[in-house]
């Protein structure tokens, strides 16, 4: 049975990652997407490195581990983090969160396609629900005069990258802890994003940033890329599957609700219905069968 302390930590993590979606949207009002990602990822990775190293973890990869970390970072960092920030730029942040959290469904589908994992009736239900959710949101974007269907494509591409990265991470043979590998992926990935930002976007003017902008950057560095990562890796191995699934299901809900306060977004009925479909889909692929839960 999960302890009360871990439940509180899981609740905090769900709130942190849910609120992060409108906080990103807030940042993009004054900062271009690649510079935002490059800055928060690099600074977050640096303070995570210092914190984890101070705990006595072995930080230096050995031999071929450098290549494995770079390979894992392509979908997990460059894929997910760059595509999702473009998705947030195009879409309402709550809508982006709903689409982004189709990733567990893609994880199962890619696992079946490339790694021989089994497709169960629950997976088929998840696929149908996910398709309905995507169809609802894409339909609404196409109907709106100022709709951004490209944002839907960005977010689905990001979710596929995350799913592929998850499968690759599960099968990687590394002697470093998963948290240390993540720190290195963030640091190396941020260098690539910095190169893209410098080549593709205008140089930002930090002197003109507002207080909310600075607060959103601080949130991205110390909460999203920092504290939330420590909480997740600190308890991920010990979480019951049902508890972990409930947390993942709640993140887009928190993102949608908090967006009304942080950036003034008003969800449409399509958003709420799509969220229900995505939550059912996540539950279908992540929640263990009843007999397993009782065991």
pLDDT at 41: 96
What is the per-residue pLDDT for 255? 93
Lowest mean pLDDT among 95-104, 118-127, 178-187, 192-201: 118-127
What pLDDT was estimated at residue 145?
A: 56
Supply the DSSP string of 60-111, one letter for each residue.
Answer: ---TTHHHHHHHHHIIIIIIIIIHHHHHHHHS-HHHHHHHHTTHHHHHHHHH
- The pLDDT of residue 294 is above 50: no
Report the run of H or E that residue 144 belongs to, with start and end: none
Q: Are 101 and 251 in contact (CB under 8 A)?
A: yes
pLDDT tens digits, 163-199? 999 899 888 889 999 999 999 999 999 999 999 999 9
Q: What is the C-alpha separation between 251 and 20, in angstroms, rounded?
A: 10
Q: What is the pLDDT of residues 209-267, one digit of tens each?
A: 999 999 999 999 999 999 998 888 877 666 666 666 667 888 999 999 999 999 999 99
More confident residue, 234 or 93: 93
Angle between helix axes 33-54 and 228-235 (nearest 10 degrees) is: 50
Helices (H), 103-240: 103-115, 121-143, 149-171, 178-200, 211-218, 228-235
Check residue 117 and report its DSSP letter. P
pLDDT band, very low/low/confident/very high, at 27 (cuts 50, 70, 90): very high
Nearest to 91 by CA among 37, 132, 147, 130: 147
């Amino acid at each position: 049975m999960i302890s009360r302390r871990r439940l509180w930590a899981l609740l905090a993590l769900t709130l942190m990652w849910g609120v992060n979606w409108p906080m990103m949207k807030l940042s993009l009002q004054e900062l271009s997407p690649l510079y935002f990602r490059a800055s928060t990822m690099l600074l977050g990775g640096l303070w995570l490195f210092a914190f984890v190293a101070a705990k006595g973890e072995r930080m230096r990869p050995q031999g071929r581990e450098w290549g494995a970390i770079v390979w894992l970072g392509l979908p997990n960092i460059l894929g997910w983090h760059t595509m999702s920030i473009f998705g947030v730029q195009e879409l309402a942040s709550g809508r982006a969160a709903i689409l982004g959290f189709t990733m567990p469904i893609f994880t199962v589908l890619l696992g079946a396609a490339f790694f021989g994992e089994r497709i169960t009736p629950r997976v088929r239900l998840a696929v149908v629900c996910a398709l309905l959710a995507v169809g609802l949101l894409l339909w609404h974007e196409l109907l709106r005069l100022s709709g951004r269907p490209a944002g839907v494509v960005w977010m689905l591409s990001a979710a596929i990258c995350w799913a592929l990265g998850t499968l690759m991470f599960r099968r990687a043979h590394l002697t470093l802890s998963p948290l240390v590998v993540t720190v290195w992926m963030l640091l190396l990935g941020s260098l690539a994003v910095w190169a893209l930002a410098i080549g593709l976007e205008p140089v930002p003017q930090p002197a003109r940033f507002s207080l909310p902008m600075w607060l959103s950057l601080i949130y991205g560095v110390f909460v999203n890329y920092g504290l939330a990562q420590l909480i997740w890796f600190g308890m991920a191995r010990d979480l019951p599957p049902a508890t972990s699934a409930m947390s993942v299901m709640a993140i887009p809900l928190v993102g949608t609700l908090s967006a009304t306060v942080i950036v003034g977004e008003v969800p449409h009925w399509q958003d709420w219905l799509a969220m229900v479909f995505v939550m059912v889909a996540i539950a279908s692929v992540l929640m263990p069968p009843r007999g397993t839960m009782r065991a």
